[in-house]
With several copies, the nearest count.
Chain A
Amino acid sequence: MATRTDFGPPDYREMLPPVIKANYGKWLYHERPQPGVLKHVAESGDALYTVRVGSERLLSTDKVRELCDLAEKYCGGYLRFTSRHNIEFLVSDANLLAPLLGELKARGLPVGGTGHSITNIVHTQGWVHCHTPATDASGVVKAVMDELFDYFGTMDLPAYCRISLACCLNMCGAVHCSDIAILGIHRKPPQINHDIVKAKCEIPNVIAACPTGAIRPDPARKSLTVNEDRCMYCGNCYTMCPGMPVADSAGDGVSIWVGGKVSNTRGGPAFSRLVIPYLPNTPPRWPETVAAVKNIVEVWAKHARKHERMGEWIERIGWERFFELSGIPFAEQLIDDFTTAPETYRTTAAFKW
């Protein structure tokens, strides 16, 4: 029997609770009765309570079943996950809201992540499953969220603050547009294994993969050479070719980026910008990274106006002021020297002391 293929994902309609089916596309407004709880009211008058629960994302089947138990008990057997990997319980019976919240509390499942909170950190595989990481993902996220935990369950920040993590420059966590991004970086050029290169790699593709043109053919060896002066350790050659590993126990670590944003509100989408070029990998709790993120959140929370995202605040006060207020030293690496550099230069004599 030929395997059945191309049948596509399950129909989402089968996954919707009755209250949603009934009011699909007819929601009128929402409120946030308390942190972690949304109330959506439909034209029909129906109300749906959503309870958002923080998630470690890396779930065991046991944990998934625990969530199913809860969904069956309180939500008619329906639940969803969010685009930031949180769990959402969909409560149509208002009377079940308080009991659900109580049980979540009892089980240590944190409720929050709505509105002006710090919600889940979008992240990636790290040492758990990927072959190119410069840092771990789940461990750093756990350490940071433990420290920022109070911000998850409250909504008192000036605005949204989205934190993301990616364990290498591939940026699977799409950290490049986050209020705060934690990015794993390598700091040593690839250690070429010529035998592997020769046996397994398509030389022209590896050369084309290098953003800075650091790779040249080495025809004598049927391999490659790397101009180490031009290499900025992105690891893209390794993606293309197992003979060019870049990971290094001592060199690898974490960088911190701030001020990115995705939504089109006010100033619109923006890239995150490098503010700390390197912090060491210090498992299990990455205290330097945790402290850096916490400091940035706190400085922003203290100085920003209401509804001002990280980047909007910094663009208002100026980056020179951000470095002063945050106490982060201004490192040379922060000055762009890639092809996009001219956009970032101060092309005006107007700046602050």
Chain B
Amino acid sequence: MADEMKTPLLDDLEKGRWPSFVTDLKQAAAKKASAKDLMGQLEKSYVDRIGHWKHGGIVGVKGYGGGVIGRYTDMPGDFPGVEHFHTIRVNQPSGWFYNTKALRELCEVWDKHGSGLTNFHGATGDIILLGTTTDHLQPCFDDLANIGFDLGGSGSALRTPSACVGPARCEWACFDSLDVCHTITNAFQSQLHRPMFPYKFKIKISGCSNDCVAAIARSDMSIIGTWKGNIRINQDEVRACAQGGMNIQAEVVDLCPTHCMGWDGTTLTLDDRECNRCMHCINLMPKALRQGVERGASILVGGKAPIVHGALLGWVAVPFIKLEPPYDELLEFINKVFDWWDENGKMRERLGELINRQGMGKFLKAMGLKPAPQMIKRPRANPYYFWREGVN
């Protein structure tokens, strides 16, 4: 089989120092006809400069409305192995940590049912099992369930939440991002597996405002760690940084966005009242500076990619929330957001677009949140505001 197939364009991508996906394709192709035909079709795409997949169709497993992306080639004659080539989205463990036992079991299930090709991970965070046939979907899911892996989200549903490495390996986690992710995922299993929302809904969780899961850019709800109170300064370690060659004035003080720091060559001063907790100084001197002790998170809403009305970054809805098990306040807030969006959102209207259409005021009112200057960069510049009933 393998010797008939010529893929000179793909072969070229085995050269070079960065790991080559073509090598993976070939490894899988050596075992699986579907993987081989995938390669063949991809080579064809490289020649034609166009994709060869048909518009997706709806396929799935019993009891779930999502978790599988249907896919069919437009050249079934040439590439019968990919006539059906659906992907399965498998919900990753919080923080993308694995023991090898779990991984090896996954590989076995996938070698049994699919192409042997995966993505670790998809952009949303799922394990992507790349390519199987319709008849394998249910058995594959059953085998996955057996080894403890459930499906992730797709369609107009809650999507698989994801979290940064957080307290597992980061000194800056202001709350337990992994646990919050796990708790949310489990609390909203039905919303995850049974699309019934106006559109997709993404939740991403970062332990601090470095935002290592890019939550603010690509989740309808971003939970981002932060603190109150003073940054703890170890002046000896600050001096050690200076001695180590860091230009504290230029690299730290001058780059502080609120200009709330001072450095006289021996002591770093910091006016915490004016600090906006951007993390810059702490990032540069992790041994010398530590966040304040009262910790929690800000919740931002509305982030999303450009379709339909342009991309949105998440914006501050809840400036501060304490996050400790059992996270009741958080779960209640999420529920309220779901309800309001579900009730008011048009088909394919993301949360941010709905808020833009109705006005943040209505959203805040529905959530029972008090308007605060922290929610905006600056007040409105246009005089088009309301005095309707309910507006204060």
Contact = CB atoms under 8 A, between A and B. Distances in A.
Given A56-B18, A83-B164, A124-B123, A349 B377 contact: no
Interface in B15-30: 15-25, 27-28
- Residue among A7, A67, A80, A252 having the largest count of chain B Cβ atoms under 10 Å: A80
A163 interface: no
B75 interface: no
A87 B173 CA distance: 21
Q: How large is the interface on B (under 10, 10 to 19, 20 to 34, 35 or more residues)?
A: 35 or more
B17 A146 contact: yes
B391 A333 contact: yes
A221 B250 CA distance: 67
B278 interface: yes
Nearest to B96: A81
Given A25-B176, A56-B23, A60-B28, 18 more contacts: A9-B91, A14-B93, A15-B95, A56-B19, A63-B24, A176-B217, A177-B313, A229-B388, A255-B383, A262-B214, A333-B391, A337-B358, A345-B375, A346-B375, A346-B376, A349-B316, A351-B316, A353-B228
Closest 3 pairs between A and B when the two form their complex, measured CB to CB: A337-B359, A146-B16, A242-B55
Interface string A80-93: 11110101001000
Contact of B18 (A127, A149, A307): A149
A332 B18 contact: no
Given A5-B193, A7-B150, A249-B49, A15 B93 contact: yes
Contacts of B312: 342, 347
Contacts of A87: 120
A247 B52 CA distance: 10
A179 interface: no
Contact of A3 (B25, B47, B62, B284): B62
Contacts of B319: 351, 353
A71 B28 contact: no
Contacts of A10: 93, 102, 148-149
Interface of A is mostly: loop
B62 A9 contact: no
Contacts of B307: 169-171, 211, 234, 236, 239
Given A5-B63, A232-B386, A234-B307, A59 B119 contact: yes
A185 B383 contact: yes
A133 B48 CA distance: 13
B298 A64 contact: no
Contacts of A234: 307, 383-384
A142 B20 CA distance: 7
Interface stretch (B38-46, B262-270, B325-333, B336-344): B38-46
Contacts of B308: 208-211, 236
B314 A335 contact: no
A338 B310 CA distance: 9
B385 A341 contact: no
B250 A306 contact: yes
Contacts of B361: 332-333, 335, 337
B94 interface: yes
Interface in B127-174: 130-131, 138, 141-142, 145, 148-150, 162, 164-165, 167-171, 173
B199 to A, nearest CB: 11
Interface in A189-211: 205, 208-211
A187 B50 CA distance: 13
B80 interface: no
Nearest to A42: B171
B216 A269 contact: yes
